[in-house]
Amino acid sequence: MHDAIEVISAKRDHGELTDSQIDWVIRAYTDGVVAEEQMAALNMAILLNGMSRREIARWTAAMIATGERLDFSGLSRPTADKHSTGGVGDKITLPLAPLVAACGVAVPQLSGRGLGHTGGTLDKLEAIPGWRAALTNEEMLAQLEEVGAVICAAGSGLAPADRKLYALRDVTGTVESIPLIASSIMSKKIAEGTGALVLDVKVGTGAFMKSLPQAQELARTMVDLGADAGVRTVALLTDMSTPLGRTAGNALEVAESVEVLAGGGPADVVELTLALAREMLAGAGVDDVDPADRLADGSAMDVWRRMVAAQGGDPGAPLSVAAEQHVVTASAGGVLTRLDAMAVGLAAWRLGAGRERKEDPVQAGAGVEWHKRPGDPVAAGDRLLTLHTDTPERFERALAALEDGYDVTPTAPGSAGFAATPLILDRIS
């Protein structure tokens, strides 16, 4: 039998926790035997002293063991899922899930809500009139068989230890610990029971991982966890120094996603959607379909409409439009050389697209639209950004967030111009 002091002291003194210590502390914390302050101390010791691959794998398995595991083996097609570590304008799940389903692979996409400057997939979809996030396991399985894709909230039965741990990390300054981030994400994804998993690990100012080496360490840790659990896992490291697409918000991003499904949309959103789709199909063993064809022939859009309708939404209903807009124009000409993802994310959040506390409501129509991307020429007076909100008193704080968020650089005759950062920075398998 173990006790909390013994486990905390072992990690505080740079020791490796045994399997039985890890199993005991996760179960005891979930059951309320280990106090919040004791688990906070252990989390801080893990943040400061790290964990071995064996410890992280056991910690993840112990979290999974506190709840149920879903089983998709009865479905008539293979399954694949995607997880993004969160970014600004990152609406990729919306076109990706129906696209992969249109290629013959079922997509059980358990998603979350936004907190802080990164948007939440469920908040975006709730901008569609009637759409609901909460499904029973039976409803989820039926929709996967009939439609091929589902995007919904994770049920309370999946890795309940993670919900408690996540809330505690949020208020104790231990969110950044790579072992704790990796085990949090992977415990839910492994318990979900998908056959293949593709991770989109964001890198840059608008991401939780600011540097490439940091993101590579997180990606490698999660890919190892997937491999250890028998889930085919690959990670793409993608740029989040500039926001994705042309919009950040809820209804704004749904409209942009529908454009992509209709065969249009911003080039970067299409590029990343197709790259992730190809990885998911490869992981599921489907290599005879090009997802670009499924965007072009309308079959991905057909699955989108059926997926939205299956969850009570009206795919043809008009989306919310914010009551008020404010346009930011260029004071001088040149080239837009920088549009900072964090600045845009903060502005969208302050306009009402995000929340400060879990229980806060969000505005469906709020957000930021950008009319230029880095590398685009700009003339004095051109529209750079449009801010959307129902509460115009929010404009001032949103504009403050954007004040140092972009650069328009004068161009000299014969200058070399602008070098774009590639969207996909690395691949780890």
Report the catalytic residues.
83, 162, 169, 184, 188
E strand or H helix that includes residue 326: strand 324-329
First to last CA, the chain: 38
What angle do helix axes 267-283 and 93-102 make, rounded to 10 degrees? 50
Provide the phi-psi class of 263: left if phi over 0, else alpha when psi is between -120 and 50, else beta: left
Do 233 and 226 meet the contact criterion of CB atoms below 8 Å apart?
A: yes
Query: Which residue shows structure tokens 């400057």?
Result: 117
CB contact set of 349 (below 8 Å; sequence gap of 6+): 114, 116, 117, 355
Radius of gyration, CA atoms only, the chain = 22
CB contact set of 129 (below 8 Å; sequence gap of 6+): 313, 314, 317
Which among 155, 154, 153, 130 has a CA at the least distance from the CA of 310?
130
Distance separating alpha carbons of residues 46 and 67, to the nearest angstrom: 23
Do 233 and 116 meet the contact criterion of CB atoms below 8 Å apart?
A: no
The string over 268-289, giving b where at least 16 C-beta atoms fall within 10 Å of a residue's C-beta and e elsewhere, is: bbbebbbbbbbbbbbbbebeeb
365 DSSP assignment:
S
394 DSSP assignment:
G
